[in-house]
A and B are shown apart, each in its own frame.
Chain A
Amino acid sequence: MSTSATTDHAARGASGSGDVPALLSVRELRVHFPTEDGVVKAVDDLSFDLAPGATLGIVGESGSGKSVTSQAIMGLHRGTRAKVGGQILFDGVDLLTISDEELRRRRGQDVAMVFQDPLSALHPYYTVGNQLVEAYRVHHDVSKQAARARVIEMLDRVGIPSPQARFGNYPHEFSGGMRQRAMIAMALINDPRLIIADEPTTALDVTVQAQILDLLVGLQKEFGSSIIIITHDLGVVAEMADDILVMYGGKAVERGDADTIFYSPEHPYAWGLLRSMPRMDRLRTERLVPIAGNPPSLINLPTGCSFHPRCEYATAELGCFTTAPPFDAESDHPVRCLIPHTERLDIFENSVRPSL
């Protein structure tokens, strides 16, 4: 694989060592949507690696390109107006260049997906059992009875009580948490090597969220799958992720293992995310600090560093308003920031960490 030096650097950090060949290598991924108002650069120059069995958390606000990335991996942009570029290497095979038929065979079998809102992601007109049987029989040439047995086994595994009876229920007859369990069963039914969970707990009650995350973690251990978990909630990745990718305006702004992102983050946006996260180990009188402003329009990204309008440390001298920051070679993990490395560490230690 021949990639440029910057890309190599960009890929470093996530998934730790380079000894184990990555299950998934995303290289300079671009997903652009041409619209009448201009090109929406939903994902731009995104690279990361994911080792077998590892968990990557992709974090960012709405419109940062998280979900578009996951859909690109699933090949769900095919047949739409989206322009997808770069490489998505799954086990060495570029998912962007394989045939539709080959991609279809891999969907659900190699890579499976758990969606945000299980009520709308399940078909309202078919029973849960029917939809799971369908998912299994796409990839396994078995009788309906055998598929049914497998589905009931999976429903049981994800903790749905009396799965025999629940098999014939419609999605609207399930509770929110049970629906998401069924979605997870559907994703796992073909024993995929990679599961992409796109905001899997966002639509659920807080009390159910932890259960679903525990379930995912437990099943991951059991099945040995890699997981990409997409969320805007740092609490979710804190619980699950080995590596974290912070996205802003369609780009990766910082990437590192979970400890790095939580304890020594270097990007001002990552600081902002941490400061706005509620924590149990803090006094209740302390206020959360929101990130000022709104996520940028992906059609008209701010010039220079796209985070600069919301960044309290951005200055003209650093070039924040004019220069798009590359990954900072000084840092031990990929960070796109123009503030000099030492100064960044200084700001974090002295003014950010105390307020966390």
Chain B
Amino acid sequence: MFAYIVRRLFSGIVMLIVMSFVTILLFFSSAVDPARVMCGKSCTPERIEQTRKALGYDKPAVQQWTAFLGGVVKGREYPADEALRKAAPQLVVDCHAPCLGYSTVTQQSVGSTLWTKLPVTGSLAIAAFIMWMVVGVGLGIISALFKGTLLDRAIVGSSLLFYAFPTFAIGIALYTYLSLKWHLVKIPAYTPISESPSAWLQGLFLPALTLALVYIAGYVRLTRAFVLESLSEDYLRTAKAKGLAPRKILFKHTMRAALTPVVTAAGLDLGGLLGGAIITETIFNYDGLGKLAVLSNAQFDLPMIVGIVLVAATFVILANLIVDLLYALIDPRVKYA
């Protein structure tokens, strides 16, 4: 098991390295010159050249990439060009590991910018996750148990409705009615949990609900399908034939098998969400990774984009690993070595 985890982590790191190379190619494929962006509006050709050298954008792709990897592992110094560093040692900036470079727009360190956005996105993703798991899985189980009844149809039908509407429509509708018109919910805003847990929760409610609604729809259907499949398994017939009480059959024999695939999907979805909920964050002006991604794209902030991609990829890779480990925990037939 331990060897398996180590192997998976190793392959995850290899994957990240490959991804970093691919994303760094953005600097070359894009029509925008990052040095030009960094340099600002009143810029002379000489200063662009100097900026390019300082940031190392004059080097070939592979060299830029290895410099980037070196920065992530052991930090790096700017200006990237050695001659420039020698010429003005007082201007040398030390970027500590893991160094992801500097935003060409805000001149801030990419690493520390991402670090400040992470709790915002994290709060949103986890709150939404809890909502959709409780409501989505719960309703899915209910609708499977009452298959074919009016209740089942109502649950599946209404979840389909939310599934069909795009997030921005649901989000804007909730925002307009619940918050602006009816004043049922405070206008959403992010407050760090360390400042005030209740304000954190209140500010989180609407965006998390918006995000959760879309997932709830999917999870109702997913859970319903797997519970129904599990209900028709031979071992459930055995459980009934033993004379077990219905509740025990449901919780011990049906749920564990039915929820295995749901856990898989949930882990992967959460992993994906931690990389940023672009639409929801934008609608509710939540200053997380998703909104940052949109902004960085609009401003051609290439170092920031590379950073966001890598952080999001890390979450997905970790989520995959955790899901696989959970699988082994739930299903004794799964063995890793």
Q: Is the CB of B237 within 8 A of A123?
A: no
Of the residues A71, A108, A115, A122, contact of B243 by C-beta under 8 Å: A108
- The answer to whether A166 has its CB under 8 Å from any CB of chain B is no
Binds B, one of A134-142, A224-232, A234-242, A257-265: A134-142
Q: Which residue of A lies closest to B237 (CB)?
A: A76
CB distance from B231 to the nearest CB of A (A): 11
Residues in B neighbouring A71, C-beta threshold 8 A: 237
CB distance from B105 to the nearest CB of A (A): 52
- Number of A-B residue pairs with CB-CB distance less than 8 Å in the complex they form: 68
Binds B, one of A41-49, A99-107, A310-318: A99-107
Residues in B neighbouring A76, C-beta threshold 8 A: 237, 240-241
Residues in B neighbouring A106, C-beta threshold 8 A: 243
Which residues 237-274 of B have a CB within 8 angstroms of A? 237-245, 252-253, 256-257
Interface size on A, residues (CB 8 A): 28
Of the residues A109, A124, A138, A172, contact of B235 by C-beta under 8 Å: A124
A74 to B238, CA, bound (A): 11
Main secondary structure of the interface of B (DSSP, over half): helix
A35 to B331, CA, bound (A): 35
Residues in B neighbouring A186, C-beta threshold 8 A: 238, 242
Given A125-B256, A125-B330, A135-B242 contact (CB < 8 Å)? yes
A310 to B224, CA, bound (A): 43
- The answer to whether A170 has its CB under 8 Å from any CB of chain B is yes
A121 to B242, CA, bound (A): 12
Q: Is the CB of B241 within 8 A of A107?
A: yes
Residues in A neighbouring B195, C-beta threshold 8 A: none
Q: Is the CB of A109 within 8 A of B333?
A: no
- The answer to whether B46 has its CB under 8 Å from any CB of chain A is no
A106 to B238, CA, bound (A): 14
Residues in B neighbouring A3, C-beta threshold 8 A: none
Q: Which of A115, A123, A134 has the most CB of B within 10 A?
A: A123
Residues in A neighbouring B252, C-beta threshold 8 A: 126
Q: Is the CB of B238 within 8 A of A170?
A: no
Q: Which residue of A lies closest to B240 (CB)?
A: A76
Given A124-B331, A125-B332, A170-B333, A115-B239 contact (CB < 8 Å)? no
Q: Is the CB of B242 within 8 A of A107?
A: yes
- The answer to whether A273 has its CB under 8 Å from any CB of chain B is no
- The answer to whether A351 has its CB under 8 Å from any CB of chain B is no
Q: Is the CB of A108 within 8 A of B234?
A: no
- The answer to whether B82 has its CB under 8 Å from any CB of chain A is no
Of the residues B234, B257, B332, contact of A121 by C-beta under 8 Å: B234
Of the residues B235, B239, B332, B333, contact of A120 by C-beta under 8 Å: B235
Q: Which residue of B lies closest to A119 (CB)?
A: B234
Given A115-B237, A120-B233, A138-B242 contact (CB < 8 Å)? yes
Interface string of A121-156 (1 = CB under 8 A from B): 111111100000011001100000000000000000
Q: Is the CB of B244 within 8 A of A122?
A: no
Q: Is the CB of B242 within 8 A of A120?
A: no
Q: Is the CB of B243 within 8 A of A104?
A: yes
A106 to B240, CA, bound (A): 11
Q: Which residue of B lies closest to A172 (CB)?
A: B333
- The answer to whether A96 has its CB under 8 Å from any CB of chain B is no
Q: Is the CB of B331 within 8 A of A113?
A: no
Q: Is the CB of A104 within 8 A of B245?
A: yes
Of the residues A117, A126, A134, A172, contact of B242 by C-beta under 8 Å: A134
A272 to B330, CA, bound (A): 49
Interface string of B305-329 (1 = CB under 8 A from A): 0000000000000000000000000
Q: Which residue of A lies closest to B253 (CB)?
A: A123
Q: Which residue of A lies closest to B260 (CB)?
A: A125
- The answer to whether A274 has its CB under 8 Å from any CB of chain B is no
Q: Is the CB of B332 within 8 A of A107?
A: no
A186 to B245, CA, bound (A): 17
- The answer to whether A253 has its CB under 8 Å from any CB of chain B is no
- The answer to whether A184 has its CB under 8 Å from any CB of chain B is no
Q: Which residue of A lies closest to B236 (CB)?
A: A123
A123 to B260, CA, bound (A): 14
CB distance from A142 to the nearest CB of B (A): 15
A121 to B245, CA, bound (A): 18
Q: Which residue of B lies closest to A110 (CB)?
A: B243
Residues in B neighbouring A320, C-beta threshold 8 A: none
**Residue positions of A touching B, CB distance < 8 A:** 71, 74, 76, 104-109, 112-113, 115, 117, 120-127, 134-135, 138-139, 170, 172, 186
Jot down 6 A-B pairs with beta carbons below 8 A, ordered by A: A74-B241, A108-B242, A115-B234, A124-B331, A125-B330, A138-B245
Q: What 8 A-B pairs have minimum CB-CB distances, sorted nearest first? A: A107-B243, A108-B243, A120-B234, A123-B235, A108-B242, A113-B241, A135-B242, A121-B234
